[in-house]
Structure 1
């Protein structure tokens, strides 16, 4: 263990605010938009979630690393966060089925992380001031860091799906499964694929810029648009794809970034939130059933609720109970629905699993 040689490290926010901490593992610098996740568990799933690509992750839970890591708890093939900021980093772990320490995992993945930060103070600050770019570094020359930070692009307008999407199509599930799904990978999580596969789906996953003709060549029973990082507005190919699927009335399900793409395909605007929603304790109300759901969320952009409410072809199906933002919608006369949260993450634990079942039912009705 190398924690005895830990160095002073800096968290510098875009407005010049500085917080001091200590380095974990490697020296260096990492940058991106700082965001915070309120989850008490699931840090490995968070760190490997493609939707977090390019972001400095601040964890509000006081202890990170205490239960180690396990290869079955990853959502992609690598760590996707730009860096980690936490209060207490556990160099030892106590879980029997852990396969190693988070420290060694970060070293293998070349992840920059700092701890001993007053995370409550940082969260309070960015809750008031809003999400902004930040740098974490073992370089303590503030003026040099400020110059580097000026060159970091803003998240608003930033296309990141191409950074995390598959380069070539691939298959997931059993080839003999009763349903075939064409999925657009704009940052897809593995557990989404697992949830579809266990419901009898054989999935072909396509790169972010694939056309309708390419996805339809699989002769699918349904189409899926995944979660992912960045601003949905630059993803023109995905928007055109969604328009074609909707026009032809194929069964379509979208999660998070995919939900936003479906909205834009219907002429609905999205906007960047002050802070976004990130955590596993977000309350959502299903307006159709009247039931509440405890949900996992991870997004910095959201669909404009009033535009959906005033759209003749769309209906609001879910709202976020903390701030009344749009959490789900469906098309009135098309086989299409979407949500702004993660039913596959199961914090409820099963509150939102019905959404995958609903997609399968839509497919069955379409096949009839």
Structure 2
């Protein structure tokens, strides 16, 4: 058994669940959280939700589900190295994208625009809404009844939420509507495992988007050669294995890059742990800076990679075309469901038909946000193509 760090979150000291439950005879509270996330409907739907490419564009590109699994693997490895609770880090990584609508950030932008008059849409806030309300699987409560530590980590994985510059009133509605939101201490950082999960997300999408971008033909290995760190690793693989195919060069270089990012993060976090010497997870939350971080050197160098991916991948014209189609589809779905709630399926129809307009808009938003890419496309066909009867 790996040695546990003094600042790790201790499952024995968990603040528990909102609805009290008898402990499991075979699992820790955080293992139980992880299992509830994996068995949830919202988690299964991630298999056909866009990461960058829409699900039907190719079977080998990453989806929200495969991305979440990769983030969980990285988070678990880092947590083990740092002596943190691996199960909590894994559970947070698996759940972090559950609130994403279909079509990735294009879908989120469009839903936020549709909801502009009804307090907007935010995928992180939607994740909280899913795990505390929308995912109904248990007879005694709505949501998954996850532990305080899991909810706190989901809400604050990007840092403190309530600050002098960002008062509570400025937060998305789903955060403010959660009755116990202030109990999650939104003015502090998240615990160490949540910080690990957040940066594991960065490691995964930075490096795996390189792989997917090459596979999709949006850029080539030669295009990467001038990028700090990235170009060095690709060049090293080519020199060591001159006869490898382009795909194998990409696989090996990305594997090495992930290791480089992980090693930098664990080294920098270890340095900060010695410098700030937190003696508990509570002290990690109360710090003025995050405990888990990349070094300043790596942070500065990876900005060039992010800028490259933004221009050459996320803003590529083929990606833009699908983004444009996706936005139109979601805008049209939202409009028809809001103005004609009798077109919604049960039980959404009953709830929307009896609701005020703001409440009906949120119901419609919840319905659309839960869709997979393929379901949204088919639902649009059913409603707007006269040759499709049902």
TM-score greater than 0.5 by the shorter chain: no
What TM-score, normalized to structure 1? 0.25
**Per residue, is there more helix in 1 or in 2?**
2
What TM-score, normalized to structure 2? 0.24
Name which one, 1 or 2, has greater alpha-carbon Rg. 2
